[in-house]
Amino acid sequence: MVALGDIVFLLLAGGQSRRMGGGDKNLLELAGKPLMAHVIDRVVPDDAILVINANGDASRYAQFNLPVVPDVIDGFAGPLAGVLTGLEWAAANHPACTHVITLATDAPFLPTDLASRLVAAVNEGGDMAQAESGGRRHPVFAIWPTSQTTSLRSALVDEGLRKIDHYTARFDCRVVSFDGEPDPFTNVNTPEDFATAQALLAE
């Protein structure tokens, strides 16, 4: 059985934030703390192993006092490259950990039971699991076994695969449904989204 102590939490911060005008949107101050801090505070247990996947100058995340690892595949290969980065980092640095939970860093309303429910889905027999809300899957909010490291690297490098769903379709990927208002997986992509999130957190 997988337990929360068997997990590395990976913060996916490798995107280019084009709709926000570039830069690191996850460092924008929202209700008194960086957007990324909302993700950590809502989902990640206090004693968890946590790592940031980000490209470029790692020092910009110094305030979090966490390891920062760039994509192991060159050329902004998308979130699947971030997943591979997390799996390989976990295998190299925490070989006793059996799974990685991936989290996008631009969603300030995440369910506080996200990690426990993803773990439950693999304990019920799934190879992996990902979140869903409003009938829409959120494949970057997922749990992945480190045993898939080799297969994922092959899919990315040898096959040129880039879409998460094309990879997870090869396995028993469970879907864990969440609801709430606002949608707990509402993400901040644009200045308008940011203003909406700020107003909701101020209520």
The model's pLDDT over 99-120, given as tens digits with 9 standing for 90+, comes to: 999 999 999 999 999 999 999 9
**What is the pLDDT averaged over residues 11-32?**
73
3-state helix/strand/coil string of the chain: CCCHHHEEEEEECCCCCHHHCCCCHHHCEECCEEHHHHHHHHHCCCCCEEEEECCCCHHHHHHHCCCEECCCCCCCCCHHHHHHHHHHHHHHHCCCCCEEEEEECCCCCCCCCHHHHHHHHHHCCCCEEEEEECCEEEEEEEEEEHHHHHHHHHHHHCCCCCCHHHHHCCCCEEEEEECCCCCCCCCCCCHHHHHHHHHHHHC
Ranked by mean pLDDT, the top range of 66-80, 158-172, 188-202 is 158-172
Name the CATH superfamily, with its identifier, for domain 4-202.
Answer: Spore Coat Polysaccharide Biosynthesis Protein SpsA; Chain A (3.90.550.10)
* CA 15 vs CA 39, 96, 169, 192: distances in Å: 16, 29, 23, 19
pLDDT of residue 19: 42
Q: Which of 132, 128, 136 is nearest to 114 (CA)?
A: 132
Model's pTM, two decimal places? 0.94
Where residue 16 falls among pLDDT bands split at 50, 70, 90? Answer: low
Q: What is the pLDDT of residue 21?
A: 45
pLDDT value for 170: 97
